[in-house]
């Protein structure tokens, strides 16, 4: 089976990115053919500084490599290195009704916040569907908050196939077991909220962030509800089941302060990500090798995209008159 997913580089990758996507991508490389891209076209909706965007793309790539994504097992590439994806985006736009895009979560979020979305935000689901459909993906590993995009891609594949003929493959989401990862303020961890814990932050800076996680004012001696505690939710992601069971009991019994739980969270963070800092530094010092990985990944991905687009063009009638 072919697994396809992308990550949007708009800032330093964080625990939400890791547990929501990266961890699943790395695990799947042992089971499926993987196509993973850095979504720099998508980033243009908010990042409009050329040098910054290039750095963000490079940083995202070396984060993946440092965490164990193996370019010998998967195709890792820049979205923009497969230009056929934008051609498919236009063709999907020609068979997709405006009503579908009106329901887009990102677009609606902008409206709810009183922001004026650009057309990139509005058409975001079209490009995302093209990303998925152009590689004939079987599964798309995503978090629960991304399921709508897969459903839209399924709808658009159906629109195309019904309008012309069956060409595009219907993908299926593959959900991980991780719920939405909370940020420092208890909201969903997101760069746009400024509440993230970065994967490769400086140890003392990360510890300072963790110790500042918002908690309630329950006294040390009183029982606490782990189900409503951001610190406990993050502990569950990093600790072993046995340790988490112990923490849950301590929460419910009382006699434990949040500072103690935060201290352990900082230790678990460092145990998980600290050893990867050196690997990341080594990749950062080899930009030519990183570029070679992206070029090789794009070559593999584009070969598939060109085959799909040949079928799409043939179905639409977009081909030379003497092409048969």
> Per the domain annotation, does 166 fall within a domain?
yes
Interval 264-296: pLDDT, tens: 999 999 999 999 999 999 999 999 999 999 999
With vertex at residue 135, the alpha carbon angle to CA 132 and CA 138, rounded to the nearest 5 degrees, is 70
169 and 111: one domain? yes
222 and 126: one domain? no
140 and 214: one domain? no
pTM score above 0.85: yes
Interval 93-135: pLDDT, tens: 999 999 999 999 889 988 998 988 999 999 999 999 999 999 9
271 and 294: one domain? no
> Per the domain annotation, does 16 fall within a domain?
yes
247 and 148: one domain? no
269 and 120: one domain? no
> Per the domain annotation, does 192 fall within a domain?
no
271 and 292: one domain? no
214 and 151: one domain? no
DSSP 153-222: HHHHHHHHHHHS-S-SPPPEEEE-S--PPB-TTSSBP-GGGT---BTT--HHHHHHHHHT-------TTS
Query: Residue 173 forms beta bridges with which residues?
Result: 140
State which residues form the domain around 144. Answer: 2-181+287-316
Total domains in the fold of the chain: 2
> Per the domain annotation, does 195 fall within a domain?
no
152 and 216: one domain? no
Q: Where are the alpha helices (DSSP H) in 68-144?
A: 84-93, 98-102, 105-112, 119-122, 124-133
> Which pLDDT belongs to residue 27?
93
Residue 231 sits in a domain whose CATH number is 1.10.240.10
> Which pLDDT belongs to residue 273?
96
Q: How confident is the model at residue 179 (pLDDT cuts 50, 70, 90)?
A: low
146 and 266: one domain? no
168 and 258: one domain? no
Backbone φ/ψ region at 194: left (φ over 0), alpha (ψ -120 to 50), beta: left
Q: How confident is the model at residue 225 (pLDDT cuts 50, 70, 90)?
A: very high
What mean pLDDT value characterizes the chain?
Answer: 94
125 and 175: one domain? yes
> Per the domain annotation, does 324 fall within a domain?
no
Residue 303 sits in a domain whose CATH number is 3.40.50.620
Tokens 């140890």 belong to residue: 203
Backbone φ/ψ region at 49: left (φ over 0), alpha (ψ -120 to 50), beta: beta
């Amino acid at each position: 089976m072919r697994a396809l997913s992308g990550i949007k580089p708009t800032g330093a990758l964080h625990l939400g990115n890791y547990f929501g996507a990266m961890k699943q991508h790395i695990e799947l490389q042992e089971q499926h053919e993987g196509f993973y891209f850095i979504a720099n076209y998508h980033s243009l909706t908010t990042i409009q500084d050329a040098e910054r965007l290039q750095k963000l793309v490079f940083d995202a790539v070396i984060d993946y490599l440092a965490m164990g994504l193996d370019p010998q097992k998967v195709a890792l590439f820049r979205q923009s290195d497969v230009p056929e994806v934008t051609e498919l985006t236009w063709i999907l736009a020609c068979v997709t009704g405006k009503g579908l895009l009106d329901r887009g979560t990102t677009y609606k979020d902008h409206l709810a916040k009183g922001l004026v979305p650009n057309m990139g935000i509005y058409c975001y689901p079209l490009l995302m569907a093209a990303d998925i459909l152009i590689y004939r993906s079987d599964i798309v590993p995503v978090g629960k908050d991304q399921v709508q995009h897969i459903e839209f891609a399924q709808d658009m594949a159906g629109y195309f196939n019904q309008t012309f003929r069956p060409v595009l493959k219907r993908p299926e989401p593959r959900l991980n077991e991780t719920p939405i990862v909370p940020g420092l303020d208890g909201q969903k961890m997101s760069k746009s909220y400024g509440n993230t814990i970065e994967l490769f932050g400086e140890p003392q800076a990360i510890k300072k962030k963790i110790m500042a996680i918002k908690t309630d004012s329950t006294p040390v001696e009183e029982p606490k509800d782990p189900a409503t505690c951001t610190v406990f939710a993050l502990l569950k992601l990093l600790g072993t089941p046995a340790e988490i069971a112990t923490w849950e009991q301590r929460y419910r019994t009382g006699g434990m302060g949040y500072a103690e739980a935060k201290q352990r969270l900082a230790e678990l963070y460092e145990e998980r990500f600290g050893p990867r800092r050196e690997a990341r530094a080594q990749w950062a010092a080899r930009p030519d090798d990183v570029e070679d990985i992206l070029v090789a990944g794009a070559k593999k991905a584009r070969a598939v995209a060109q085959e799909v687009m040949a079928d799409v063009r043939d179905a639409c009638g977009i081909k030379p008159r003497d092409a048969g």
